[in-house]
């Protein structure tokens, strides 16, 4: 049971979002802008960064829903899901672009703390063609999921064991977005 | 120098906010709702939580500006500044209410990671009279500053050594708010 009185049977952040609509509005807008708005990073890449950071923070709800969102943006096949799982397990050996590997390296440093990101981490991303905005958005996505993960776990929200629970939620996030207006 | 090309001579998050107005809008709104909107927690208490978490994350810009904002909400005397500094150094021995101590204890756990918050941390806050929304907002403020701190430090923004630089910024935050519209 969650630490505060939120509606029963609603997993992860969803119950918290109903509890406090005033904070939910900017949180939803932030996710929409970062993960879905026009960007030179694909939606699949951005959701992969979100799933990866959530995995490092061991937040089941965020990790599994954003894994599903990432896989759905890539086509939604079992191979897509397997690719995101491989990234979370060991991104350096996974079949993703060298550029995305350098961005995940930065995201992993941000997960540990902002000061862990070093000049050579950024130089490596730049040498694979990452732009200033792509580096900015990678850092901010990683930072934002360090927030979401703490919010979801810090209030002990309900997160069922069955991984199948999370797939439809991630599909909805991928296809309908975060603000409920598109 | 910051890792990306933001305007020179603008400290901390302020340069980042000019760089990417699309993400700045929801970030500003989130700070405004959490730290300044009507709440049974005073603005001073909420800014104290923000300063405390930023201190634990060793983010100079956020720590010193929110220290100033907290002190300004309490009256802005040197004694108010000294109180917030004492909270950051050792909140358990500082001259704040027992209830705020229990909330800072929760915020400190969130800083380490969401799963560090235990049922007895929450029970202690409740026994000092904390409501569900106050517990919720404490967790979310702490989580949000784990984001802001990572954003500001992860991109290596300019953060001058002189602590006097931060006081006028914090005063402005306290008195004019975060959205620039009030």
Cβ–Cβ < 8 Å for B35, B43: yes
Q: In the predicted model, is pLDDT for residue A181 greater than 70?
A: no
Cβ–Cβ < 8 Å for A58, A67: no
Does A110 sit within 8 Å of B154, measured CB to CB?
yes
Does A150 sit within 8 Å of B122, measured CB to CB?
no
Write the pLDDT tens digit of every residue in A110-165: 999 999 999 999 999 999 999 999 999 999 999 999 999 999 999 999 999 998 99
Does A33 sit within 8 Å of B135, measured CB to CB?
no
Quote the minimal CA–CA distance from A52 to chain B in Å.
16
Decide if A120 touches B, using CB distance below 8 A: no
Query: What are B69's two structure tokens?
Result: 């904002």
DSSP B22: H
Does B148 sit within 8 Å of A146, measured CB to CB?
no
Q: Give the pLDDT score at B181.
A: 58
Q: What is the ipTM of this complex?
A: 0.98
With contacts defined as CB-CB under 8 Å, which chain B residues touch A33? 22-23, 25-26
Q: Say which residue the tokens 């630089």 belong to.
A: B165
Q: Which residues contact A161 (CB under 8 A, 6 or more apart)?
A: none
Q: Say which residue the tokens 């939803």 belong to.
A: A28
Write the pLDDT tens digit of every residue in A73-113: 999 999 999 999 999 999 999 999 999 999 999 999 999 99
Sign, CA dihedral A22-A23-A28-A30, equals positive
> Pick the residue with more confidence: B124 or B180?
B124
Measured CA to CA in angstroms, residue A75 lies from A82, A83, A100, A125 at distances of 12, 12, 18, 26
Interface mutation target, options A19, A155, A156, A181, chain B, most CBs of B under 10 Å: A155
Q: Which residues contact A158 (CB under 8 A, 6 or more apart)?
A: A1, A2, A8, A9, A10, A11, A12, A15
Decide if A75 touches B, using CB distance below 8 A: no
- What is chain A's length? 182
Helices (H), chain B: 13-19, 21-35, 43-56, 60-74, 78-90, 98-112, 119-127, 132-154, 166-176
Distance (Å, whole) CA B71 – CA B79: 9
Q: Is B113 exposed, middle or buried (0-12, 13-18, 19+ CB in 10 A)?
A: middle
Among the listed residues A155, A159, A147, the one whose alpha carbon sits nearest the alpha carbon of residue A10: A159
Three-class DSSP category at B38? coil
Distance (Å, whole) CA B27 – CA A98: 31
Q: In the predicted model, is pLDDT for residue A182 greater than 80?
A: no
> Considering CB atoms only, which of B23, B133, B152 is closest to A33?
B23
pTM: 0.98
Among the listed residues A154, A130, A72, A88, the one whose alpha carbon sits nearest the alpha carbon of residue B145: A154
Decide if B59 touches A, using CB distance below 8 A: yes
With contacts defined as CB-CB under 8 Å, which chain A residues touch B26? 26-27, 29-30, 33
Q: Give the pLDDT score at A180.
A: 78
Write the pLDDT tens digit of every residue in B4-43: 999 989 999 999 999 999 999 999 999 999 999 999 999 9
Q: How many CB atoms lie within 10 A of CB A77?
A: 11
């Amino acid at each position: 049971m969650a630490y505060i009185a939120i509606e029963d049977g609603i997993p992860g952040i969803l119950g918290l979002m109903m509890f406090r609509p005033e904070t939910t509005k900017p949180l939803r807008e932030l996710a929409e802008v970062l993960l879905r708005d026009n960007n030179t990073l694909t939606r699949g890449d951005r959701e992969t960064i979100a799933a990866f950071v959530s995995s490092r923070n061991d937040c089941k709800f965020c990790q599994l829903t954003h894994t599903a969102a990432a896989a759905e943006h890539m086509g939604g096949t079992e191979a897509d899901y397997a690719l995101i799982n491989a990234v979370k397990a060991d991104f350096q050996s996974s079949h993703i672009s060298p550029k995305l590997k350098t961005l995940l390296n930065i995201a992993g440093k941000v997960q540990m703390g902002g000061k862990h990101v070093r000049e050579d981490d950024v130089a490596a991303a730049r040498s694979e063609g990452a732009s200033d905005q792509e580096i900015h958005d990678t850092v901010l996505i990683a930072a934002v999921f360090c927030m979401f993960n703490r919010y979801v776990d810090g209030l002990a929200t309900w997160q069922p064991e069955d991984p199948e629970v999370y797939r439809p939620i991630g599909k909805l996030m991928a296809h309908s977005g975060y603000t409920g207006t598109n």
